[in-house]
């Protein structure tokens, strides 16, 4: 389906680590074979973020072969010292991403900022410039780069065939990003069963995931001048100018 505010970009880097939050408590991290919906939302927000918008990732194309490499890491402990841990990363990754945005109805105080053409044009410029913030794939040490692309013209290593990845972590639905009434004022974790067809994975929107769990109650932040600190007000002003 073609959207009026549809965006496309290519993101690539030497390493990526898309770890399942459920398995991260043991100290040693191991990557999932494909990027999660949440990770690609994070990349898009690093390119251009506004609380007025909700990004929807429609599909991702896996451009390079899925390969992993393990590294010995010494994570620093907050109470001093360190341990040797093994982290398993994806190596030499590249993805073509296609998505669109909708208005975040949880923030009626930002209704005056709902100018679709303005945000779309800014987003396109930020993609061309490589993003407003640092881009990384999954974890902070996996630095990445963004550039414009034509989704349909990018070639995938998996151009033929179909591959299922089973039940996998999808994303978190935060209170101020919930679309369905059942997810509002809650922190919700979502799971899905992605299938790659000819190198392309079509994502199910978070609210439509078949497996969801409400973790805890959560509040919606209000963006208005009365509740902004001086630093927040300056940050908000920088995005409006």
Query: For the chain, what are the domain ranges?
Result: 7-240
**Beta strand pairing status for 211-217 and 186-192?**
antiparallel
- Total residues found in the chain within this entry: 241
200 forms beta bridges with 61, 197
Strand 211-217 and strand 68-73: the pairing is unpaired
In the chain, the DSSP E strands lie at 7-16, 53-62, 68-73, 85-103, 145-148, 162-164, 168-173, 186-192, 195-197, 200-202, 211-217
- CATH 3.30.70.2660 given to domain 7-240: yes
DSSP-derived letter for residue 207 is G
Q: CA 228, 230, 231, 234 torsion: positive or negative? A: positive
For the CA atoms of 158, 163, 166, 170, the dihedral, rounded to the nearest 10 degrees, stands at 40
Q: What is the pTM of this model?
A: 0.87
Taking the C-alpha atoms of residue 84 and residue 86, their distance in angstroms, rounded to an integer, is: 7
Q: pLDDT by residue for the chain (241 residues), tens digit each?
A: 778 899 999 999 999 999 877 666 666 788 999 999 999 999 999 999 999 999 999 999 999 999 999 988 777 766 766 677 788 999 999 999 999 999 999 989 899 999 999 999 999 999 999 999 999 999 889 999 999 999 999 999 999 989 999 999 999 999 889 898 888 889 999 999 999 999 999 999 999 998 999 999 988 888 765 544 444 444 444 434 3
* Element of type H or E holding 240: helix 230-240
Query: Which pLDDT does position 222 carry in this prediction?
Result: 80
Please give the pLDDT value at position 82: 67
């Amino acid at each position: 389906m073609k959207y009026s505010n549809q965006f496309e970009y290519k993101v690539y880097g030497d390493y990526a680590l898309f770890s399942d939050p459920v398995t991260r408590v043991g100290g040693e991290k191991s990557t999932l074979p494909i990027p999660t919906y949440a990770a690609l939302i994070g990349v898009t927000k690093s390119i251009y973020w506004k609380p007025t918008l909700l990004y929807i990732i429609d599909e991702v194309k896996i451009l390079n072969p899925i390969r992993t490499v393990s590294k010995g890491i010494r994570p620093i402990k907050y109470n001093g010292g360190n341990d040797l841990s093994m982290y398993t990363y994806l190596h030499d990754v590249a993805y073509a991403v296609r998505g669109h945005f909708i208005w975040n109805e949880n923030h009626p105080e930002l209704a005056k900022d709902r100018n679709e053409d303005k945000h779309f044009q800014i987003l396109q410029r930020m993609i061309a410039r490589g993003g407003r913030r640092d881009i990384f794939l999954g974890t902070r040490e996996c630095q990445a780069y963004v550039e414009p692309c034509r989704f349909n013209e990018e070639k995938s290593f998996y151009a033929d065939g179909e591959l299922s990845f089973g039940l996998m972590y999808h994303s978190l639905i935060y209170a101020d990003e919930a679309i369905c009434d059942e997810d509002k004022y809650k922190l919700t974790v979502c799971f899905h069963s992605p299938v790659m067809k000819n190198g392309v994975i079509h994502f199910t929107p978070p609210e439509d995931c078949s497996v969801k769990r409400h973790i805890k109650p959560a509040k919606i932040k209000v963006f208005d001048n009365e509740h902004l600190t001086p630093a927040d007000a300056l940050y908000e002003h920088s995005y409006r100018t």
